[in-house]
Amino acid sequence: MKGKTHAAMGMATFMAVYDKVPGGFSYLGIIIVGIASLLPDIDHPKSMINKYILPFKNKKTKMVIYIALSIIVLYFDYMYTKSPVLKSIGVALIFIAVSSHRNGLTHSLIGLVIFTIIASYIGKCYAIPASAYYFVIGYGMHLFCDMMTKMGIPLFYPFINKKYKMPFTYNVNSKRGNDLEEFLIIVSLVYIIYRLPGIF
Protein backbone atom coordinates (compact mmCIF):
# COMPACT_ATOMS: atom_id res chain seq x y z
CA MET A 1 0.00 0.00 0.00
CA LYS A 2 1.25 3.46 -0.88
CA GLY A 3 2.36 5.92 1.79
CA LYS A 4 -0.40 8.43 1.05
CA THR A 5 -3.03 5.71 1.47
CA HIS A 6 -1.53 4.63 4.80
CA ALA A 7 -1.50 8.24 6.03
CA ALA A 8 -5.10 8.86 4.95
CA MET A 9 -6.37 5.62 6.52
CA GLY A 10 -4.46 6.23 9.75
CA MET A 11 -5.76 9.77 10.17
CA ALA A 12 -9.33 8.74 9.29
CA THR A 13 -9.14 6.03 11.97
CA PHE A 14 -7.88 8.61 14.46
CA MET A 15 -10.83 10.87 13.61
CA ALA A 16 -13.17 7.93 14.21
CA VAL A 17 -11.84 7.09 17.68
CA TYR A 18 -10.22 10.29 19.06
CA ASP A 19 -13.07 10.87 21.52
CA LYS A 20 -12.48 7.41 23.01
CA VAL A 21 -8.70 7.82 23.35
CA PRO A 22 -7.05 9.34 26.47
CA GLY A 23 -6.03 12.85 25.47
CA GLY A 24 -8.80 13.15 22.89
CA PHE A 25 -8.21 15.17 19.74
CA SER A 26 -5.08 17.24 19.29
CA TYR A 27 -3.31 18.57 16.22
CA LEU A 28 -0.08 17.07 17.53
CA GLY A 29 -1.90 13.77 17.91
CA ILE A 30 -2.95 13.67 14.27
CA ILE A 31 0.66 14.47 13.25
CA ILE A 32 1.91 11.56 15.39
CA VAL A 33 -0.69 9.28 13.82
CA GLY A 34 0.40 10.39 10.33
CA ILE A 35 4.08 9.72 11.04
CA ALA A 36 3.32 6.36 12.70
CA SER A 37 1.21 5.41 9.67
CA LEU A 38 4.31 5.75 7.48
CA LEU A 39 6.93 4.36 9.86
CA PRO A 40 6.66 0.60 9.12
CA ASP A 41 7.73 1.24 5.51
CA ILE A 42 11.05 2.62 6.75
CA ASP A 43 12.39 -0.84 5.78
CA HIS A 44 11.88 0.11 2.10
CA PRO A 45 14.64 2.32 0.58
CA LYS A 46 12.09 4.17 -1.58
CA SER A 47 9.47 4.77 1.10
CA MET A 48 8.04 8.20 1.81
CA ILE A 49 10.15 8.55 4.98
CA ASN A 50 13.40 7.35 3.40
CA LYS A 51 12.92 9.85 0.61
CA TYR A 52 14.09 12.46 3.14
CA ILE A 53 16.76 10.31 4.84
CA LEU A 54 18.64 8.38 2.17
CA PRO A 55 20.83 10.19 -0.39
CA PHE A 56 20.52 7.19 -2.73
CA LYS A 57 17.38 5.04 -2.78
CA ASN A 58 18.79 1.51 -2.73
CA LYS A 59 19.25 -1.33 -0.23
CA LYS A 60 23.01 -0.86 0.24
CA THR A 61 22.63 2.84 1.06
CA LYS A 62 19.79 2.03 3.46
CA MET A 63 21.94 -0.54 5.23
CA VAL A 64 24.98 1.76 5.54
CA ILE A 65 22.98 4.78 6.73
CA TYR A 66 20.95 2.91 9.34
CA ILE A 67 23.91 0.96 10.69
CA ALA A 68 25.83 4.26 10.98
CA LEU A 69 22.87 5.83 12.81
CA SER A 70 22.70 2.80 15.09
CA ILE A 71 26.39 3.08 15.98
CA ILE A 72 26.00 6.80 16.74
CA VAL A 73 22.94 6.21 18.96
CA LEU A 74 24.47 3.27 20.84
CA TYR A 75 27.79 5.09 21.33
CA PHE A 76 26.01 8.20 22.62
CA ASP A 77 23.96 6.05 24.99
CA TYR A 78 27.06 4.19 26.23
CA MET A 79 29.02 7.40 26.84
CA TYR A 80 26.33 9.70 28.23
CA THR A 81 22.83 8.43 28.98
CA LYS A 82 22.63 4.68 29.71
CA SER A 83 19.00 4.84 28.57
CA PRO A 84 17.09 1.61 27.75
CA VAL A 85 15.06 3.54 25.18
CA LEU A 86 18.17 4.70 23.30
CA LYS A 87 19.43 1.11 23.37
CA SER A 88 16.09 0.03 21.88
CA ILE A 89 16.38 2.68 19.16
CA GLY A 90 19.92 1.56 18.36
CA VAL A 91 18.91 -2.09 18.08
CA ALA A 92 15.79 -1.20 16.07
CA LEU A 93 17.97 0.74 13.60
CA ILE A 94 20.08 -2.38 13.07
CA PHE A 95 16.94 -4.42 12.35
CA ILE A 96 15.77 -1.74 9.91
CA ALA A 97 19.17 -1.80 8.20
CA VAL A 98 19.11 -5.54 7.55
CA SER A 99 15.37 -5.96 6.89
CA SER A 100 14.01 -6.18 3.40
CA HIS A 101 10.55 -4.75 2.76
CA ARG A 102 7.85 -6.54 4.76
CA ASN A 103 10.20 -9.35 5.78
CA GLY A 104 11.23 -8.24 9.25
CA LEU A 105 10.79 -6.18 12.38
CA THR A 106 8.87 -3.13 11.19
CA HIS A 107 5.90 -5.10 9.84
CA SER A 108 5.45 -7.25 12.96
CA LEU A 109 3.73 -7.00 16.33
CA ILE A 110 7.15 -6.95 18.00
CA GLY A 111 8.00 -3.88 15.92
CA LEU A 112 4.73 -2.28 16.99
CA VAL A 113 5.57 -2.88 20.66
CA ILE A 114 9.18 -1.67 20.40
CA PHE A 115 8.36 1.52 18.51
CA THR A 116 5.36 2.24 20.76
CA ILE A 117 7.60 2.02 23.85
CA ILE A 118 10.02 4.45 22.20
CA ALA A 119 7.15 6.80 21.25
CA SER A 120 5.78 6.62 24.79
CA TYR A 121 9.17 7.53 26.29
CA ILE A 122 9.61 10.45 23.90
CA GLY A 123 6.05 11.55 24.73
CA LYS A 124 6.85 11.59 28.45
CA CYS A 125 9.99 13.65 27.81
CA TYR A 126 7.96 16.27 25.92
CA ALA A 127 4.76 16.19 28.01
CA ILE A 128 2.63 14.31 25.45
CA PRO A 129 1.10 11.65 27.73
CA ALA A 130 -1.20 10.21 25.03
CA SER A 131 1.60 9.75 22.48
CA ALA A 132 1.56 5.94 22.78
CA TYR A 133 -2.17 5.81 21.99
CA TYR A 134 -1.76 8.05 18.96
CA PHE A 135 1.20 5.99 17.79
CA VAL A 136 -0.60 2.64 18.10
CA ILE A 137 -3.49 3.93 15.98
CA GLY A 138 -1.20 4.94 13.09
CA TYR A 139 1.22 2.01 13.26
CA GLY A 140 -1.51 -0.57 13.90
CA MET A 141 -3.58 0.66 10.95
CA HIS A 142 -0.51 0.38 8.70
CA LEU A 143 -0.12 -3.29 9.63
CA PHE A 144 -3.84 -3.93 9.18
CA CYS A 145 -3.89 -2.25 5.76
CA ASP A 146 -0.83 -4.16 4.53
CA MET A 147 -2.65 -7.39 5.40
CA MET A 148 -5.08 -6.42 2.63
CA THR A 149 -2.33 -6.89 0.03
CA LYS A 150 -1.33 -10.20 -1.56
CA MET A 151 2.16 -9.93 -0.08
CA GLY A 152 0.88 -9.91 3.51
CA ILE A 153 3.08 -9.22 6.53
CA PRO A 154 5.20 -11.35 8.96
CA LEU A 155 2.95 -10.46 11.89
CA PHE A 156 4.68 -12.74 14.42
CA TYR A 157 8.29 -12.19 13.26
CA PRO A 158 10.86 -13.29 14.50
CA PHE A 159 9.02 -16.26 16.05
CA ILE A 160 7.07 -17.23 12.93
CA ASN A 161 8.15 -16.15 9.44
CA LYS A 162 4.78 -16.89 7.84
CA LYS A 163 3.09 -13.88 6.23
CA TYR A 164 -0.49 -13.17 7.21
CA LYS A 165 -3.11 -11.52 5.02
CA MET A 166 -6.85 -10.99 4.73
CA PRO A 167 -9.08 -13.49 2.86
CA PHE A 168 -9.59 -10.89 0.12
CA THR A 169 -6.42 -9.16 -1.11
CA TYR A 170 -5.10 -7.13 -4.04
CA ASN A 171 -1.80 -6.63 -5.85
CA VAL A 172 -0.07 -3.35 -5.04
CA ASN A 173 0.47 -1.18 -8.16
CA SER A 174 -2.01 -3.21 -10.22
CA LYS A 175 -4.86 -1.27 -11.85
CA ARG A 176 -7.34 -2.79 -9.42
CA GLY A 177 -5.01 -2.03 -6.52
CA ASN A 178 -4.44 1.58 -7.59
CA ASP A 179 -8.19 2.12 -8.07
CA LEU A 180 -8.91 0.64 -4.65
CA GLU A 181 -6.30 2.83 -2.96
CA GLU A 182 -7.62 5.97 -4.66
CA PHE A 183 -11.10 5.04 -3.44
CA LEU A 184 -9.83 4.49 0.12
CA ILE A 185 -8.06 7.87 0.09
CA ILE A 186 -11.21 9.66 -1.09
CA VAL A 187 -13.42 7.91 1.49
CA SER A 188 -10.87 8.68 4.24
CA LEU A 189 -10.69 12.37 3.33
CA VAL A 190 -14.48 12.67 3.13
CA TYR A 191 -14.79 11.05 6.55
CA ILE A 192 -12.12 13.33 8.05
CA ILE A 193 -13.99 16.38 6.74
CA TYR A 194 -17.27 14.95 8.06
CA ARG A 195 -15.79 14.56 11.55
CA LEU A 196 -14.10 17.96 11.69
CA PRO A 197 -17.13 19.93 13.02
CA GLY A 198 -17.17 17.68 16.11
CA ILE A 199 -13.75 18.98 17.14
CA PHE A 200 -14.86 22.57 17.58
DSSP state of 103: S
How far apart, in whole angstroms, are the C-alpha atoms of residue 4 and residue 79? 39
pLDDT at 124: 86
How far apart, in whole angstroms, are the C-alpha atoms of residue 61 and residue 88? 22
Q: At what angle do helices 131-146 and 109-125 cross, to 10 degrees?
A: 160
What are the CA-CA distances from residue 162 to residues 15, 143, 155 (Å)? 32, 15, 8
pLDDT at 149: 94
**Residue pair 91/118 in contact by the 8 Å Cβ criterion:** no
pLDDT at 98: 83
Q: What is the pTM of this model?
A: 0.89
Q: What is the pLDDT along the chain (200 residues), one digit of tens a residue?
A: 899 999 999 999 999 999 998 888 899 999 999 999 999 999 888 888 888 888 888 889 999 999 999 999 999 999 998 888 888 889 889 888 888 777 778 999 999 998 999 899 888 888 888 999 999 999 999 999 999 999 999 999 889 989 999 999 999 889 999 999 999 999 999 999 999 887 76
111: phi then psi, degrees, rounded to nearest 5: -60, -45
Q: Give the Cβ contact number of residue 84 at 10 Å.
A: 11
pLDDT at 122: 85
Q: CA nearest 36: which of 127, 126, 164, 123?
A: 123
Q: CA nearest 133: which of 41, 14, 39?
A: 14
